[in-house]
Structure 1
């Protein structure tokens, strides 16, 4: 089996996880790295045994390197668009972090390039690989719940809460991120809804900033926060199912709580990252008698993100892999949430041709 030579862009905290995930698959070899931080570039280059000539301060040079087969990008949002643009120009397959871009205008520009010259790619909606979510999708698609009438999705974390006195970080900088909780966590909620139920038809949203200022750790000065701490919205899908969404980084007691409840004519499902290998299924056991069961997820639903990326690089298209158009559609919904909140109205989504 072929081993793929990977160019890794972005050497921050999440890069360590991606390196480990690649190592688990045994068919990736990181041969080049890129970062704007020269110290990180040197340290990670030494750790990975990367030759100095393959440590690139400029990610475009890494993408153009003929000895790199594919790109893994783990960077802040403000360079997502430029990295994807360079991958499309070079015809280089990629796995790129979410959100797809910083703002929707960047996504529209990328779509024009992609339609002129598609390149195989994957967007890092990693929760498609939570076994409980994959099994929930299987049960919904097989009609085990009957017609799905409604659902709720939430993604809660606590690290931004006032109690934690979280300083001003790049995730609070609008010029870098575009949005706050919405792009960071809300993009995962949107992707989970699309993964389970299809396209969005319309939505109505609200964004809030609970902590208007945070302390700059370098200067000690207070800095204005211009991105959201909280997002909630209601949506109607093209299937006519309706959904309620909420996300916050200020939910004390929630470490990484991403979950969905699905309500159909024949029963209810609950699935969560807090118990990724099981889901709760409520259904009628006998006429007028409901049964609540905790169901183990079958092994076929335990698929890895980097396993699917290998399948893509091998020339196949795995079912459910989040590709370029999934990234684009996700960004379109993010933009609709922003417009709905700002204009205090419902916003309709365009539909795929």
Structure 2
């Protein structure tokens, strides 16, 4: 079977996790080229993984154009997502790229048009589609285990940005790089999970808030004004009529990485969370008409990895539920609608225009 030669763009902390996942996937993947604007990171990663000097690129465009690279994995800040995706599409190179799809919605529109003209196997890094409990929840919903879904609530909470931790001004707080703050970072995952489990967004209203207004520059110590959100909440009506309530925060003290959803149907409730990824809670009436709360172990068939799906796409056998380029675009569209709804203090209908 074919071994796919991978070029990796972006060599920060998450890149090391991707390298490990590539290695865990076995002989079907081989890392052959790397790219980063930081020469020290380029040298360290290249040396550690025995990448030849000729395959260490400061310019990601050269990596994408390299004929020895069969597919690209991009793990970079948001401001270069669009340029990398465009380069891959123009070169006809399959890719796996981090979420969100782009920094802002305006960048996503021409990319979708280009993708529709020149499609390639593509996976956008909505990694929580691969949380076993969420995949099992999708199976139970499709099997009608709780009947028609009427409402649901989702939240994604982290605590590292809370005021007491004195987190400095890093790129995730820089609007020029990220576009939005908590919304794009955590909210994009909530949006994708809702689309994965429930369906498309039809209308929403929203509020965004900056909780910590200034943070110290790690180099100068001077305070920098924060222009992105620390907290976002929104409520939505989905295309099938279900109502959803969402919140995301990086200021939730005590929450490490708490992404969860509760789904309420006509004859039961499902609760799934990253805090217990191998189990979910199912509430239904038993045969005697009494409410029964069961903790169900996730079956092995729901334990699928992101790289297994990427490999299937490269082999020409894309799987159901793999987050592709259109999912990235639709997610960006919802992000834009949330920003508009917060700024105008009004409901916004989907789909939206530029």
For the criterion TM > 0.5, the same-fold answer is: yes
Deviation at residue 118 of structure 1 after TM alignment: 1.1
Structure 2 CA distance, aligned partners of 1:190 and 1:40? 33
Offset from partner CA, 1:182-223 (integer Å, 9 cap, x none): 000000000000000110000000000000100001000000
Offset from partner CA, 1:153-200 (integer Å, 9 cap, x none): 000000000111100000000000000000000000000000001100
The match for 1:84 is: 85
Structure 2 CA distance, aligned partners of 1:231 and 1:35? 32
1:17 correspondence with 2:20: no
Offset from partner CA, 1:79-133 (integer Å, 9 cap, x none): 0000000000000000000000000000001112112211110000000000000
Offset from partner CA, 1:294-339 (integer Å, 9 cap, x none): 0000110000000110000111110100000000000000000000
Structure 1: 5+ residue stretches without partners: none
SS in 1 for 2:33: strand
Offset from partner CA, 1:62-84 (integer Å, 9 cap, x none): 00000000000000000000000
Matches within 5 A, 1:144-223: 144-223=145-224
Structure 2 CA distance, aligned partners of 1:349 and 1:21? 36
Structure 2 CA distance, aligned partners of 1:73 and 1:327? 14
- Structure 1 stretches of 4+ moved >3 Å: none
Structure 2 CA distance, aligned partners of 1:115 and 1:321? 17
Structure 1 CA distance, aligned partners of 2:218 and 2:351? 42
SS in 2 for 1:322: coil
Deviation at residue 288 of structure 1 after TM alignment: 3.2
Matches within 5 A, 1:1-353: 1-26=1-26, 27-350=28-351
Deviation at residue 287 of structure 1 after TM alignment: 4.1
Structure 2 CA distance, aligned partners of 1:163 and 1:288? 49
Structure 1 CA distance, aligned partners of 2:211 and 2:235? 20
Structure 2: 5+ residue stretches without partners: none
Deviation at residue 268 of structure 1 after TM alignment: 0.4
SS in 1 for 2:32: strand
SS in 1 for 2:183: helix
Deviation at residue 286 of structure 1 after TM alignment: 2.8
CA RMSD of aligned residues (A): 0.7
